[in-house]
Structures are given as structure tokens and as C-alpha cells.
Amino acid sequence: MPENLNFLCRVDEVEEGKPYSFPLGRIKVVLVRKRDSYYALNDSCPHRLAPLSAGGVAGTALPSDVGVICYGRDGEILRCPWHGWEFDLLNGRSLHDPQRERVRAYPVKVEDGSIYVDLSGRVG
Ligand code: FES
């Protein structure tokens, strides 16, 4: 295994849609599973530093016509537990201001049933 990968846990230890926090030195990572995909973000909200791992995983309202509410992307949005900012698990960008407000998203690798995160990498 390359040196830049940090072991998090085994795949059978991760329930879908539930955030898990892993301290890795001075960094904490939040891991979320959606089906067979795994996403890792820095476990600290850029607003007031709440632990995102204490938040919920959900979907969000999609762009739609006036008067129409269209829900989608279930399991791909992580909501901060303190003030409700929402982050895209695929790239760490906030939904309300994706160019300015974001958390770092790390590459995740699964090998032989083990989940690893690359803290030197960046997604998005
Ligand atoms: S600390 Fe996350 S939205 Fe305020």
C-alpha cells in the first residue's frame, strides 16, 4: 500500500448513509458510504467548525420550475449539524456558495475490503 494512503476501516464496518469520523493525526475525516462508493471530507465545517460527522446525510431540492419541488441526489449531501449548511459529498462544495464555501474532499481507495483515504490528494 502506498505511504500516502491512511487506513480507515473495513467496508463491512460502514453503514450506508451514516457519517463516520476518523482522527488521522491533526486531521479528522468524515467518511460516508453510498451504495458501493465512499466519500471522505474534512470533518470540520468552514462556517463555525462544527464536526460534520455529527450531521445528517440526505439529498436536496433540485432545480425545477416555479411551484414544483423536485428532490434528488439522495445520500450525496452532508448537512452540518449546527446551522444546516449543506455540502456535496462528491467534491466538498457547499450547495449555497460552491465557489467560495467548501470543505476539502479526499480521494478514497478500497482494496481487499479495506478503505483508505489519501490525505495528500484532493477531489473537486
Ligand atoms: S458550523 Fe456548520 S453551518 Fe455553522
pLDDT of residue 102: 97
- Name residues of the chain where pLDDT drops below 50: none
pLDDT of residue 1: 58
What is the C-alpha separation between 111 and 50, in angstroms, rounded?
A: 31
Q: Which of 92, 110, 111, 114 is CA-nearest to residue 102?
A: 92
> Residue 13 phi/psi, 5° resolution?
-100, 0
> Residue 12 phi/psi, 5° resolution?
-75, 0
pLDDT of residue 24: 97
User: What are the pLDDT digits (tens) for 33-56?
Assistant: 999 999 999 999 999 999 999 999
Name all residues whose Cβ lies below 6 A of ligand 1: 45, 47-48, 50, 80, 82-83, 85
Mutate which of 80, 87, 96, 102 for ligand 1 pocket (most atoms within 8 A of beta carbon): 80
Nearest CA to ligand 1 atom 3: 83
* Amino acid at residue number 82: W
